[in-house]
Structure 1
Amino acid sequence: MSFVVPLYKNHRYPAEIISHCVWLYFRFPLSFREVEEMMLERGVIVSYETIRRWCLKFGQTYANALRRRRPQPGDKWHLDEVFIKITGASKYLWRAVDRDGNVLDILVQSRRDKAAARRFFRRLLTSTGQVPRVVVTDKLKSYGAAHREVMPSVERRSHKGLNNRAENSHQPTRQRERAMKGFRSSGGAQRFLSAFTGISPHFHPHRHLVTAGRHRFEMTVRFTIWDQITDATGMPATA
C-alpha cells in the first residue's frame, strides 16, 4: 500500500520529534504546554505554540494515513449523535462506527434535524466509498427521513438497546472534552476530533481482551506502523 509522506520541508526539527509531539497530544489528555514540558525533560526545546502548529498541520495527515491502513469497514454501521458544549452553546457530534467499533467518520453540526442527518449520511458514503448493508440508529426521527432519501435500499434498524457501539465510542471524546475544558469553536472541534478519532484508537488494541505478551506485541506492531506513516524512521513511503 502506498501513502503520501508528510511534508517536513523547511522544518528545522526532525520528523521523529514532530511525530512524537503529535502522538503525545492526541494519545494522552495533555495540553500543548504539558507536551512542551515533557519534551524539555528529554532535552528538546520546543515551544507549545510550535507544537500546536504541528498538530494542526500533521494531525489529520497522520490520521488519514492510519485509516487507510485499516481493513475495510464491516457492512453494519452504528450511528449516534451526542451534544457537546462549544462556548456555552449546544452543538451535536454525529458519529458512525462499524461493527468492530472503528470510527468511520464524525461531524459537528448545530442541529439534529433531517437536513443534518442527510448531510451526515452523504458524508459517510463519500468518505468510506461504500454502501452498508445495515445501519443501526436510535429512534431520532431525523434518521428515518434522511435514510429514505439518501440510502433507501439499505436496511435500517432502530432500537435503543442496539446502538451501544456508537454510544460507547463517545466516551474517549467526553474524557478529552473534559480535559480540554470544552471546545472553543465548531471548526476547532471538527478539526481536533477528526484527527483524534483517527489517531487515538490506533493505540487502544482492546487491552482487556488479550494477554500481556500479546498486547506488547500488538503495540510494537502499531508503533512500527506509526513510524512508517509519519516517516519518522526515514523509511520509504510504501508498506
Structure 2
Amino acid sequence: MKKSKSFYHGHLFPAVVISCAVRWYFRFHLSLRDIEELLFERDIVVSYETVRRWCDKLGAGFAHWVKAVRRDPGNTWHLDELFVTLRGEAYVPWRAVDDHGAELDILPQKRRDTAAAERFFRRVLRSCPVPRKIVTDQLRGYPAAKSRIPELANVRHVYVKAAARVNNRAENSHQPTRERERRLRGFRDLKRTQAFLSNFGPIRQHFALKRHLLRASLYRKQITQRFDA
C-alpha cells in the first residue's frame, strides 16, 4: 500500500516549526512580520514571505482536518451576513454556524439577494447534513432561496431580530472576523479573503476552547491533545 505524502514533504524546516507558525497566524491576531520576529527570538531565521507561503499552502489542509475531527454539526443552522470593504468595494461574507457555535462555512459574495442566498445554501449542504431548523434574520432572500432547494423545503425556518450587536450565535460569530479585519487593516483581494476566512474560522475554533467552563487540569489536557494533533 502506497503511503500518502506528509503535509510537510519537501519543506526545509521541520514540521513542528511550520505547524507552529501556521497555527499562530490563524489562532492569534498576529501579522506575518510578528511571526517572523517570534521565530527569530527562538533562533529560527525565516522571512515573513515564507510564513505567508506556508499559510497559503497548508492552511486549507489544516482546516479540512480539524473539520473532520470535530464533533458532528448540530441540527440547527444560524445564518447571517456582514459587510466588508475590499479596495473600496463592498462585499458580503455569508456565514453559517451550528447550535454549538462551530462555523459550518463562509462565502464572500458581491450581492445580498435570493441568488446569493441559494448559492450559499447549496454550498453548506455539500459538507453538512440537512438541518432540523434554520435561524436567519428577516432578509427576504432566505425564504425565497430555501423554497428553491428541495432538501430544505420542509425545514423549519425561524426569524430573529435583524440588528447590529444582537446577542445570538450568528452575530457573535462575526466578532473574530471583525477583530482580524482591524488587525490586517482591512481585506483587499476577494480570492485571498475567501481562502483566509475559510481557514481562519475552523483553525481558530479548534484551539479556542471555552476556558471559563473547564477546570485547569482538564483545559491543559484538552489543549495538549489539540497541539499534538
* Counterpart amino acid of residue 143 in structure 2: G
Q: How does 1:139-218 map to 2 (within 5 A)?
A: 139-150=138-149, 151-160=152-161, 164-218=168-222
* Counterpart amino acid of residue 104 in structure 1: L
Normalising by the residue count of structure 2, what TM-score does the alignment of the two structures yield? 0.92
What is the root-mean-square deviation in Å for CA atoms of aligned residues?
1.5
Aligned residue for 1:138?
A: 137
Normalising by the residue count of structure 1, what TM-score does the alignment of the two structures yield? 0.89
- Displacement of 1:10 after TM fit? 2.0
- Displacement of 1:61 after TM fit? 0.3
**Greater RCO (CA < 8 Å, at least 6 residues apart):** 1
Aligned residue for 2:66?
A: 66
Aligned residue for 1:120?
A: 120
Fraction of identical pairs, as percent: 50
Aligned residue for 1:76?
A: 76
SS in structure 2 at match of 1:200: helix
- Displacement of 1:5 after TM fit? 6.1
- Displacement of 1:212 after TM fit? 2.5
SS in structure 2 at match of 1:29: coil
Whole-Å Cα distance in 2 between the matches of residues 163 and 114 of structure 1?
25
Segments of structure 1 that go 5 or more residues without pairing to the other structure are: 226-239
Q: Is the 8 A contact 1:6 1:58 kept in 2?
A: no
* Counterpart amino acid of residue 134 in structure 1: K
Aligned residue for 2:104?
A: 104
State the number of aligned residues.
221
